[in-house]
Amino acid sequence: MNKWLRKSLFILFSIATFGLVTPPASLAIQDKPSEDSFSNPSINDEQIERFLPPKVDVEQIPFSKEQVLSNLLSEAEQKSYMKFGDKISGAIEDEFKEVIYPKMQDIITYYINTENDELFQHLVVSKPSGGTSEKIFHIYNSQTGKDVLRFHVRRENRPLDGYWFNFHYHTYHDSFQSHKDLGSIYWDKNTPPNWMSYH
Predicted TM-score (pTM) of this structure = 0.68
Is the pLDDT reported for residue 108 higher than 70? yes
Question: What residue ranges in the chain does DSSP mark as E strands?
Answer: 123-125, 135-141, 147-158, 162-171, 180-188
Q: What is the pLDDT of residues 123-176, one digit of tens each?
A: 999 999 999 999 999 999 999 999 999 999 999 999 889 999 999 999 998 999
Q: How far is CA 155 from CA 47, 106, 175, 187, in A?
A: 67, 23, 23, 9
Q: What is the mean pLDDT of the chain?
A: 81
Q: Is the Cα torsion angle 183, 185, 190, 196 positive or negative in sign? A: negative
Element (H, E) at 79: helix 65-95
Task: Render pLDDT for 146-161 as a digit per residue (tens, 0 to 9).
Answer: 999 999 999 999 988 9
Confidence of residue 101 (pLDDT cuts 50, 70, 90): very high
pLDDT of residue 73: 96
Buried b (16+ CB within 10 A) or exposed e, 164-174: bbbbbbbbeee
Q: Is the pLDDT of residue 192 over 70?
A: yes
